[in-house]
Amino acid sequence: MQSAPTPNPPNPEFPGIATVSPLAAALSCACPRCGQGRLYSGMLTVAGTCTVCGLALHRHDSGDGPAVFVILVLGGIVVGLALWLEARLAPPVWLHAVLWPPIILGGAIAMLRLLKALLIALQFRHRAHDYEDGADQGPHHV
Ligand SMILES: [Zn+2]
């Protein structure tokens, strides 16, 4: 019987730094290669390079993926809660207008940070060549 591969094999380029799992990197908003550098330089701005291992983070290509998940999941949750609140308590309209915008804004930013980090980590795990030197000129980026 063949043994299963280890979930976090050592990184050949950085032997002293284990490759982190995509979920762990996403939850900590850390670099997908070393798991130590910060992924974001701003609230939702991805850093140019990792300050610890030098990974070219600017080569990520998460696209609109995180936004789609946030719209579908957070939109469904908020609409469900708003309908439940209206059916249960029938509050005045101004309460809806005051209650939901901060929940939507805060939830969207929190979910976008997490999902963007997860998609970047998954891209690094499955398409690491996108982060290599010269990847910007590759035929799949035309
Ligand atoms: Zn790093």
Q: How far apart are CA 99 and CA 71, in angstroms?
A: 18
pTM: 0.76
Cα 133 to ligand 1 centre (Å): 15
The confidence score (pLDDT) of residue 141 equals 46
Cα 70 to ligand 1 centre (Å): 26
Q: How far apart are CA 89 and CA 1, in angstroms?
A: 60
Q: Are 26 and 62 in contact (CB under 8 A)?
A: no
- Measured over the CA atoms of residue 47, residue 40, residue 63 and residue 105, the dihedral's sign is negative
* Percentage of the chain exceeding pLDDT 90: 58
Q: What is the pLDDT of residues 78-96, one digit of tens each?
A: 999 999 999 999 999 999 9
Q: Are 20 and 38 in contact (CB under 8 A)?
A: no
Q: Are 43 and 109 in contact (CB under 8 A)?
A: yes
Cα 117 to ligand 1 centre (Å): 13
| Lowest-confidence pick of 21-30, 45-54, 121-130 | 121-130
How confident is the model over 52-77, as a mean pLDDT? 90
Cα 108 to ligand 1 centre (Å): 26
